[in-house]
Structure 1
Amino acid sequence: MVCSQGRTTLIQMNSRIIQTISCLLLLAGLLFQTRQLFAPRKDLTGMSKSNPIAGIAGKKTETDVRDYNESGQKQDSVSQKNGEPLTIDSIPRLSIIQGTHGKENSAKLNNNLESTANSISTSSSEKSAIETPKSSPDDSIFSITNKKSICFTEGISSFPVTFNPLLARDVNSRKAISLIFASMVRYDPELHICGDLAESWVIDRDTGTLTFNIRKNAFWHNGNPVTAEDVKETFEAAWRLRKNGKMPDGLDMIRQVTVIDEKTISVLYKSPWARMLDVWTLPIVSSGEARAMFPDQISSSLTADSIKGISDIPMGSGPFIPSRTDGANYFSLIANHRYHLGDPAIDTYTLKVINISKSPEKAEEIDLIELPAGFDPSGKWASEADLFIREFQSNDCEWIWFNLSRKPFSERNFRTALAIAVDRQSLLKDLGTRALLANGPFLPLSWASNPDIMLPEYDPQEAREKIQSILNNGLHIPSFTILTDDSNPWRQRAASSLARAWTECGLTTKVVILPWNKLVERIVAKDFSVVLVGFELGMDPDQASIWHSSPNIGLYNISSFKSDDTDRLIEQGRCSLSTDSRRSIYHSMHEILARELPCIFLFSPYRRYAISDRSRNLILGKLGHRVNFHLWKPEN
């Protein structure tokens, strides 16, 4: 029994030792796995997985990484040397190839975009890790894998003509630019001017001086701070465009821009004027980009034909960072989590080309699209795509422009005959949406509009008599074309109506429908006789850019209108700080333009958007303008 008990005790002791050793080995294995799990490691973009805040402009998810690196291969990135800030020149240039292109070019383009996004991620990760408290292990693991990315898609009628903020003229280019870039000031939803990059400002109306203080938390997409030098270089780059008549509106009134310190800049105007702040809604580009885009040798040779060639995407400081594109059908951006006005709720913002008039069934692919005038939103496509329609008063207008540099359109009698042959009420009825009939160049509800002015009334008989009289006096009237764009069904119908009305007056005319980009090229080159096109007026009634005869001021003078009296009134209206005085000036200007008829003023349509049901809470301004992107928060 004794021996038997000893063996039993020994066996029990050995068993306990084995169990203890097994437990220790298991514990060691668990510790090793835990260490591996929580150890910082670099993913494809150089982001530290143990700190999800460090990444592209401050935040990133595994889902994002797969989206931006679909091949699963490591992308080249621009690294910092010895902690030095990433320079603007070291960021790869982002080139957009216009039009349809093959898989090879598309792949190269997207590699370029991905490489830049990766570079931005690398440059911002160190700074973000220092400024942001390190996440707990729970945050670093589970928040990454469980976060659901918020994607948003906006439909646009055509691919942007350019991403150069100083050259953009068309609405789709400006939409893309508003996502990438920030300005010194901006308009809020109620049309009040508020700060963007500018935290505050002081205006000295006696000396015509404006002083801006730039936000300390304003950064470029690569993490470098926005400085007063950037603002100055943007102005100087834009000023160099005066040689070609491409200078952005209003900058001609600036005498000097002076850097006070890194975050303070002073602007001296030629005289005090009403738009001292409004002009600084101009997108700001970094100093290096400004010099690269418009050195003297480029700006001096810039022509209308070469605008399309300058298609690089400069680095911005706005709410979104360029990510992917095929250069023809879509353009995707990712959230800039360092954005100075707040972290955007939308992770991926895509602009997608959709011709809603021809393919309304594609509405289910988008969250937001501005509907063209004349498009019927009552079809079942909207309900099937879970879309609803919102309507706003707008600063848009529909005008028929004449090219006054061509005969016989240079003759006022001929323009008047064409105007009274057009039944504006009939065109308005066919528009299919609410609109305000125009009585001149200013918006119908604007304080600048002269209520006592009446445009010539529809009278086809008098139109025929006037045209016959012109022919009898020996003026040759050649056949001519009416140009309009293919994205707006109402304009196409209206152009056909114009052709019929003028044909009934004894004229020979035809309609030519062009893609928007091609139409813009023809307008810029003054290669047209008559063009029907929409126009977006500025928030301020100053219309120097539309009617002034100087090419450096009249950037959008489509009709090539020239009038010394109008030039004088424009300059007086710009320099007056009294609303009453400006009202009187613009009423006189209104009278001249209603008499001269450089174009037929049709109406101001209401702006309509189709919006997805999950995006009902989007913040759109009083005129339907797109504001406060960082506050847009669609439901997922």
Structure 2
Amino acid sequence: MRNFFLFGIAITFVLLACERFDEAQPLDPARDRSEQPSPTPPPISTVIITPTPPSTLPPSPLLLPVDEQATPEIPKSQSPLKVYEDNVFGFRIDYPLDWDAFAIPEAPRIAQMGSNDGGSAQSVVYLLYQTNIFTSDAALDTQIPSFLDRQGFRQLKEEELVLEDGTKAFRVVYQWRETDGLWQGSLFAVAQNSQNFFILTEAPQSTYLERAEDIRAMLSSFKLTDPTPLGIDRKEALTLFLDNGPITLDPAIAKELSTAQYIAHIFSGLVSFDSNLNLIADLAENWEISEDGTVYTFTIKANARFHDGRSVTASDVKYSWERAAAPSTGSTIAGVYFDDIVGMGAVLAGMAEEATGIEVVDARTLRVTIDTPKAYFLSKLSHHTAFVVDREEVALDPYWWSEPNGTGPFKMRFWDRDLFILEANTEYYETPPAIPFVIFRLYGGIPLLMYKGGEIDVASLYSEDIKEARDSQDALNDQIQLTKELSVYYVGFSSDKPPFDDPLVRRAFMLAIDREKLIEDLFTGSREVAQGFMPQGLPGFDPSILAIPYDPGEALRLLAKSSYGGAEGLPPIIYTTSGVVVEGSTVDILLKMWKKNLGIQVQPRVLDETTYFYYLSQRRDNMYDYGWIADYPDPHNFMDVLFHSGAENNVGKFSNSKVDTLLEKARVEQDNQVRYDLYRKAEKLVVDEAAAIPLNFGRSYIATKPYVKGLVFTPLGMMDLKGVTLGSR
């Protein structure tokens, strides 16, 4: 199961309260990257620096500016300094000998320098990503307003500074009043492409003035460098920024595409799909199918090994599948992929620990029996739920997956809030990856700006970027690769709850949307309006399916004809979304169309996008966002998995006996043409019944640097990194 977020998430700048400085344990001046990864790295937002909230004081007397000499270049301190280097984001800075340096793995705060005595000046280094390219002074201007509510705040000076390497920076010096007297500080900014580095330094005014020369020297030494996390040179690594990182690396638990993307490089299963969507052997060397189509006998590759060198056996496969199905594991998707196997129903129900249909013949031979012949069964085994895990590792630690011992082409080298690093598995049972490392940055800004600035090698384009990038005059145009995905985005109805338990109400809401205009306005022609739920390129796709009209008049007639008698008879309607509800967003446009055409005010409710698909079934309201991309290229993975009344992914609980009958016949039909026709008939019924509102089929637009060769994007939304090589830059 691979869910997609339906609507683009706008980047929101939020305020972060910056304590006057927390206590922290000192680290080596070089940024330490050897600590253990967090099992559940939380999402990281782009922020605005916000200083300490002001104290409650009576009006202060007029604060006089401090006389501090300004120079176009900062003089060097005569005192010896220590060096702090950050190889993750790429900078170095000198700081006084009597200070300590602290790494802060809580981006945007990335480093702190100062004394632990609490009375000395303290400096915090921030890295913020902007939505536009700023100069250093403009970047600083975005932050100053957050300081203005301090008691007696007064800006003393602003100046452009030239650093030792010739880089232009900008600094503002200010003062304000606290309960213990006057304080003074400075905010220093250096802008590089979409990156804005800030250094916030504050202290009691007497202390600040006493250390002013040291502060100047520290700022003058700031220098941007090439990031080399874990000492890895950019020439040895493909560098990416996709998201905030995986939620888990347990293949049995993951249920959305972003997490599956990481898992697929570390683990593997018996079979997989190549870039042309041909089913191929993976851990399996080969397989045989019985004449009646119910028994599959797999032979595992002799050289298949876990990353620690232990051989993969048939027992490992059996354990991994039964573990995924066991209720104690907590998988909500295992039933989708294993329910065909004899005896798996009992395991899924917690009534048995082993499935009678999974038999270990010998160390390399596994025999699997399914209930009836099913043309798509092998394809289901390509899903990450069927990937093999190390039972010995699982037994040792509930968070075993934070340092997984997989079988895939890459090993996980490192994981924290800022980075996720893969290292090539040189003992991989197929051809080992050509590239030594893949670095996923987990903190960043607009991918296209990071790409243009040289921070990353590959970038997904947002819809607003695509029109500009597709301009034939834009140099970026030749670097863009379009992939038509086997995906569909739609608005789901809770068919088991009023008012969408009435199909007339559902259809009224569907006809009240001008989907053509919505998709064109949002995606500027980069997406295809969906008339059904099976995308073009999927076997069984129906090019003759009738277009869903935009007909507000008919929508009102259907609403009046419904069991609710019109808009006035409807209960309050809430729309559950993973996106943001701002002017011009998808949800905003939908709500306005329903208000205009039906006279109904639908209220949105926003859930955390990170865990949206994990909790949607329990938290859904009357309507909700949904997106689906194929796990395997078969209509069963769309129509049956999403709309059969008993399907786990039928989130809205749509139920239609005629649809169920067609889907159940298709499950056992061996003639593919007959099978595809059954799915087309089911799709027509699902659209006629308005089980959901199809919006668009997906397309991905990816910019790739010319020196990156062999990177493959599949219609299943996955990247194949095994064949990547890096040329000269």
TM-score computed with the length of structure 1 as normaliser: 0.69
Query: For 1:148-179, what per-residue CA distance to the aligned partner results, in whole angstroms no more than 9, with x for missing partners?
Result: 96111222134322211111111110100011
Q: How does 1:351-366 map to 2 (within 5 A)?
A: 351-353=440-442, 358=446, 360-363=448-451, 364-366=454-456
CA contact (8 A) 2:575 2:604 kept: yes
Q: Do structure 1's residue 416 and structure 2's residue 416 form an aligned pair?
A: no
1:250 maps to what in 2?
337
Secondary structure (helix, strand or coil) at the match of 2:651 reads coil
CA contact (8 A) 2:538 2:634 kept: no
1:201 maps to what in 2?
287
- Separation in 1 of the partners of 2:299 and 2:237? 34
CA contact (8 A) 2:266 2:407 kept: yes
- Separation in 2 of the partners of 1:254 and 1:533? 29
CA contact (8 A) 1:483 1:513 kept: yes
Q: Do structure 1's residue 326 and structure 2's residue 416 form an aligned pair?
A: yes
2:74 maps to what in 1?
none
Q: How does 1:123-522 map to 2 (within 5 A)?
A: 150-241=236-327, 245-247=332-334, 249-255=336-342, 256-283=357-384, 284-288=387-391, 292=395, 312-327=402-417, 329-353=418-442, 358=446, 360-363=448-451, 364-373=454-463, 375-376=465-466, 378=468, 388-430=479-521, 431-470=523-562, 471-472=564-565, 475-485=569-579, 493-504=585-596, 505-512=598-605, 515-522=608-615
Secondary structure (helix, strand or coil) at the match of 2:516 reads helix
CA contact (8 A) 2:320 2:391 kept: no
- Separation in 2 of the partners of 1:70 and 1:582? 65
Q: Do structure 1's residue 545 and structure 2's residue 641 form an aligned pair?
A: yes
CA drift of 1:514 comes to 5.1
CA drift of 1:333 comes to 1.5
Query: For 1:237-274, what per-residue CA distance to the aligned partner results, in whole angstroms no more than 9, with x for missing partners?
Result: 12224987431533100111111111111111111111
CA contact (8 A) 1:156 1:354 kept: no
CA contact (8 A) 1:377 1:389 kept: no
Q: How does 1:596-611 map to 2 (within 5 A)?
A: 596-611=689-704
Q: Do structure 1's residue 95 and structure 2's residue 39 form an aligned pair?
A: yes
Question: CA 1:286–1:106 in 2, change beyond 3 Å: closer, same or farther?
Answer: farther
Query: For 1:372-428, what per-residue CA distance to the aligned partner results, in whole angstroms no more than 9, with x for missing partners?
Result: 455435259997889821002210212111122321122111110100001111122
Question: CA 1:376–1:93 in 2, change beyond 3 Å: closer, same or farther?
Answer: closer
Question: CA 1:630–1:592 in 2, change beyond 3 Å: closer, same or farther?
Answer: same
CA contact (8 A) 1:286 1:315 kept: yes
2:72 maps to what in 1?
none
> For residue 246 of structure 1, what is the amino acid of its counterpart?
I
Greater Rg by CA: 1
Q: Which has the higher mean CA deviation after the structures are superposed, 499-508 or 359-368?
A: 359-368
> For residue 177 of structure 1, what is the amino acid of its counterpart?
I
CA drift of 1:104 comes to 8.1
- Separation in 1 of the partners of 2:584 and 2:673? 40
- Separation in 1 of the partners of 2:642 and 2:464? 25
Question: CA 1:598–1:268 in 2, change beyond 3 Å: closer, same or farther?
Answer: same
More strand by share: 2
CA drift of 1:462 comes to 2.2
- Separation in 2 of the partners of 1:467 and 1:385? 48
CA contact (8 A) 1:569 1:586 kept: yes
Query: For 1:54-106, what per-residue CA distance to the aligned partner results, in whole angstroms no more than 9, with x for missing partners?
Result: xxxxxxxxxxxxxxx99799989xxxxxxxxxxxxxxx997334346996888
- Separation in 2 of the partners of 1:626 and 1:437? 25
2:146 maps to what in 1?
none
Question: CA 1:325–1:492 in 2, change beyond 3 Å: closer, same or farther?
Answer: farther
1:21 maps to what in 2?
none
Q: How does 1:14-163 map to 2 (within 5 A)?
A: 95-99=39-43, 150-163=236-249
Question: CA 1:207–1:424 in 2, change beyond 3 Å: closer, same or farther?
Answer: closer
Question: CA 1:380–1:506 in 2, change beyond 3 Å: closer, same or farther?
Answer: closer
> For residue 368 of structure 1, what is the amino acid of its counterpart?
V
CA drift of 1:339 comes to 1.1
> For residue 247 of structure 2, what is the amino acid of its counterpart?
V
Question: CA 1:199–1:163 in 2, change beyond 3 Å: closer, same or farther?
Answer: same
- Separation in 1 of the partners of 2:587 and 2:677? 35
Secondary structure (helix, strand or coil) at the match of 2:707 reads helix
> For residue 713 of structure 2, what is the amino acid of its counterpart?
L
CA drift of 1:503 comes to 0.7
- Separation in 1 of the partners of 2:537 and 2:722? 31
> For residue 460 of structure 2, what is the amino acid of its counterpart?
E
CA drift of 1:526 comes to 3.6
1:49 maps to what in 2?
none
Question: CA 1:289–1:502 in 2, change beyond 3 Å: closer, same or farther?
Answer: farther
CA contact (8 A) 1:435 1:605 kept: yes
Secondary structure (helix, strand or coil) at the match of 1:408 reads coil
- Separation in 1 of the partners of 2:233 and 2:243? 32
1:130 maps to what in 2?
none
> For residue 546 of structure 1, what is the amino acid of its counterpart?
L
> For residue 423 of structure 2, what is the amino acid of its counterpart?
I
Query: For 1:427-451, what per-residue CA distance to the aligned partner results, in whole angstroms no more than 9, with x for missing partners?
Result: 2212224333322221144442344
- Separation in 1 of the partners of 2:713 and 2:33? 40
> For residue 179 of structure 1, what is the amino acid of its counterpart?
H
Question: CA 1:146–1:246 in 2, change beyond 3 Å: closer, same or farther?
Answer: closer
2:719 maps to what in 1?
626
- Separation in 1 of the partners of 2:106 and 2:307? 23
How many residues in Structure 1 have an aligned counterpart in Structure 2?
495
Query: For 1:276-321, what per-residue CA distance to the aligned partner results, in whole angstroms no more than 9, with x for missing partners?
Result: 3112213323351586499xxx9xxxxxxxxxx9964532111111
- Separation in 2 of the partners of 1:335 and 1:623? 23
More helix by share: 1
Give ranges in structure 1 of 5+ residues lacking alignment. Answer: 1-68, 77-91, 108-144, 299-308
CA contact (8 A) 1:164 1:313 kept: no
CA drift of 1:557 comes to 1.6
CA contact (8 A) 1:373 1:605 kept: no
Question: CA 1:292–1:275 in 2, change beyond 3 Å: closer, same or farther?
Answer: farther
Question: CA 1:372–1:247 in 2, change beyond 3 Å: closer, same or farther?
Answer: farther
Q: Which has the higher mean CA deviation after the structures are superposed, 390-399 or 240-249?
A: 240-249
CA drift of 1:565 comes to 2.8
Q: Which has the higher mean CA deviation after the structures are superposed, 359-368 or 235-244?
A: 235-244
- Separation in 2 of the partners of 1:495 and 1:564? 32
Question: CA 1:620–1:521 in 2, change beyond 3 Å: closer, same or farther?
Answer: closer
Question: CA 1:423–1:74 in 2, change beyond 3 Å: closer, same or farther?
Answer: closer
Secondary structure (helix, strand or coil) at the match of 1:177 reads helix
- Separation in 1 of the partners of 2:688 and 2:476? 47
Give ranges in structure 2 of 5+ residues lacking alignment. Answer: 1-27, 46-101, 108-230, 343-356
Q: Which has the higher mean CA deviation after the structures are superposed, 526-535 or 607-616?
A: 526-535
Query: Does 1 or 2 have the higher relative contact order (CA < 8 Å, sep 6+)?
Result: 1
CA contact (8 A) 2:707 2:727 kept: yes
> For residue 684 of structure 2, what is the amino acid of its counterpart?
E
CA contact (8 A) 2:662 2:678 kept: yes
CA contact (8 A) 1:106 1:326 kept: no
Query: For 1:21-68, what per-residue CA distance to the aligned partner results, in whole angstroms no more than 9, with x for missing partners?
Result: xxxxxxxxxxxxxxxxxxxxxxxxxxxxxxxxxxxxxxxxxxxxxxxx
CA contact (8 A) 2:460 2:701 kept: yes
> For residue 485 of structure 1, what is the amino acid of its counterpart?
G
